[in-house]
Structure 1
Amino acid sequence: MKTGLTDKAVLVTGASRGIGRATALAYAAEGARVAITYHSDEAGAKETAERVAAAGGTPHVVRYDLGDEDSVRSAVASVGAEWGGVDVLVAGAVEWGEAIPRPGRKMPAFEEVPPAQWQRVLRTSVDGVFHTVQAVLPLMRDREWGRIVVLGAGLAETGLPGAAAYGAAKAALHGLVRSLAWEVGPAGILVNEVVPGQTLTENVLAHASPAFLENKAASLPSGRMNTPEDVARAIVFLGSAANGNIHGEALRVTGGL
């Protein structure tokens, strides 16, 4: 299957580690030029860039603050100036907020969540993707071709105590994908969502016990949790020429949850 990604300009937001890094490397393996954004982990982004180059891609590192419209538009402009446009956008950056649910961590009751924390997660995660897509679309329309892949979250459907704001933000992005599909399809731009279940990222491995991970894997029909590479392969397929007409869909990578 031909992905047609050689020398395509790919922007992956939130690529310092985890699913974002795996996605950047998967695009690099297809010969793409990969822009890697980071908010605070510049060292992680530079490590991703080195690995992108080693995998056969051409890297470009740029700072990107999901909660700052000027930063978002500046990052997209930097990629456009570097490579003449953007062919693929992978919108993976997200704002978790101060309270990240982790195994063994007691989370505040919903009625105790500070409104400012709720608003920060929703406004940053949803508005940041809005501004990013707005900035990228003119560059794709100029080429009459593009692929946009938005990273959703399985917990938007299954729920998780303490993650209401994050789940609400991801659910909002699902609605964005569905409506955006009607607007950009005629311009040759396909937009989809990848919905991963819990994935063995560095963060999960650092905070979850072996027993928790073993029980979680045993609860899935596939018998194992995602690796970041599992999710990245789905993203690359939807965000490539191999995807000819899958549009406005949500592809679940959850091990059958």
Structure 2
Amino acid sequence: MELKDQVVLVTGSSRGLGAAIAKAFGREGSRVIVNYFQNEEKAQQVVDSIGKDHAMAIKADVRNQSDIETLFKLAKNHFGENITTVVNNALVNFQFDATNRKTAETITWDEYQVQLEGSVKASLHTVQAAINDMEQREFGRFINIGTNLFQNPVVAYHDYNTSKAALLGFTRSMAKELGAKGITVNMVSGGLLKQTDASSKTSAEVFTMIRDSTPLQKVTSPEDVADAVLFFASPWSRAVTGQNLVVDGGLVMD
């Protein structure tokens, strides 16, 4: 299915990487659901930038199954078609703050639980809400947002890194089961992005270090990652599933 024919849900897309992904799909003519949890104003700004004929904002807590089921119904009523493509991007209550991060001595299981629910539980909800419609169409795309930190934890963000490693296991397990239904499940893993709300507490010195250590000699932007997400939604990736594409300028080579 061409990008222009897809109905795309991007979770957590009122800001940062999610907003860049939503706008990238909008640029290609997709119809886009801009999901938000707290900031309706920013979500509406993303909708306005895409165009109201091709985008709508829906509030939903990705950790709440009922919220997600309602979102899918609202999207179908609005666009007249089921969601074909899901980007699981939402990030729950996390800052990339290397100075004030929780250490092995101070982190709690509850903090792990928050990130696991934001990554794996939320992705399970979108898969289960979409699977029947995608199977009937014999087409579906899931793109989960990961991180290069679970392969090279240069900063030990214990809860975040672990949740994204778990999300890769989820990605590959779902790819195995859903492939026969015409549904692909892949992951795109960026590095530390310059700059989003989540990376706003990262110092200029850290970004300089990343740039100098990266073969492409640049810090990856949200737009760089967004374009890679488009690949996994496009017909060009029709024979690709269960993969993790690292988009960080070559900093981590897998």
Q: 1:125: which partner in 2?
A: 119
**Equivalences for residues 230-241 of structure 1 within 5 A:** 230-241=224-235
- Residues of 1 paired with 2:203 and 2:104: CA distance? 26
Is 2:43 the counterpart of 1:45?
Answer: yes
Larger mean CA deviation between 39-48 and 211-220 belongs to 211-220
Number of residues of Structure 1 aligned to a counterpart in Structure 2: 250
Which amino acid is 1:150 matched to?
N
Q: 1:72: which partner in 2?
A: 68
Which amino acid is 2:91 matched to?
V
Offset at 1:228?
A: 0.7
From 233, 239, 244, the equivalent of 1:245 is 239
Which amino acid is 1:186 matched to?
A
From 55, 61, 67, the equivalent of 1:59 is 55
Offset at 1:251?
A: 0.7
Larger mean CA deviation between 121-130 and 202-211 belongs to 202-211
Cα pair 2:143 2:232 within 8 Å, conserved: yes
5+ long unaligned stretches in structure 1: none
Using the size of structure 1 for normalisation, the TM-score is: 0.90
Gap change, CA 1:124 and 1:213, over 3 Å in 2: closer
Offset at 1:225?
A: 0.9
Using the size of structure 2 for normalisation, the TM-score is: 0.91
Offset at 1:204?
A: 5.8
Cα pair 1:107 1:161 within 8 Å, conserved: no
Cα pair 2:149 2:155 within 8 Å, conserved: no
- Residues of 1 paired with 2:230 and 2:204: CA distance? 30
| Per-residue Cα deviation, 1:39-98 (whole angstroms, up to 9, x for no partner) | 1011111010011118xx70011012122221122112222332320111111112245x
- Residues of 2 paired with 1:206 and 1:112: CA distance? 23
- Residues of 2 paired with 1:225 and 1:180: CA distance? 31
- Residues of 2 paired with 1:34 and 1:169: CA distance? 26
Is 2:201 the counterpart of 1:207?
Answer: yes
Q: 2:171: which partner in 1?
A: 177
Cα pair 1:152 1:194 within 8 Å, conserved: yes
Which amino acid is 1:112 matched to?
T
Q: 2:78: which partner in 1?
A: 82
Which amino acid is 1:37 matched to?
N
Aligned-residue CA RMSD (Å): 1.9
Is 2:252 the counterpart of 1:254?
Answer: no
Name segments (4+ residues, structure 1) moved above 6 Å. none
SS at match of 1:35: strand
Is 2:94 the counterpart of 1:92?
Answer: no
Cα pair 1:66 1:125 within 8 Å, conserved: no
Gap change, CA 1:246 and 1:179, over 3 Å in 2: same
- Residues of 1 paired with 2:150 and 2:18: CA distance? 19
- Residues of 1 paired with 2:148 and 2:228: CA distance? 15
Which amino acid is 1:90 matched to?
V
Offset at 1:170?
A: 0.6
Is 2:96 the counterpart of 1:101?
Answer: yes
5+ long unaligned stretches in structure 2: none
| Per-residue Cα deviation, 1:139-169 (whole angstroms, up to 9, x for no partner) | 2112111111111111111125451111111
Cα pair 1:16 1:36 within 8 Å, conserved: yes
Identity of aligned residues (%): 30
Cα pair 1:12 1:35 within 8 Å, conserved: yes
Q: 2:29: which partner in 1?
A: 31
Cα pair 1:4 1:241 within 8 Å, conserved: yes
Gap change, CA 1:161 and 1:252, over 3 Å in 2: closer
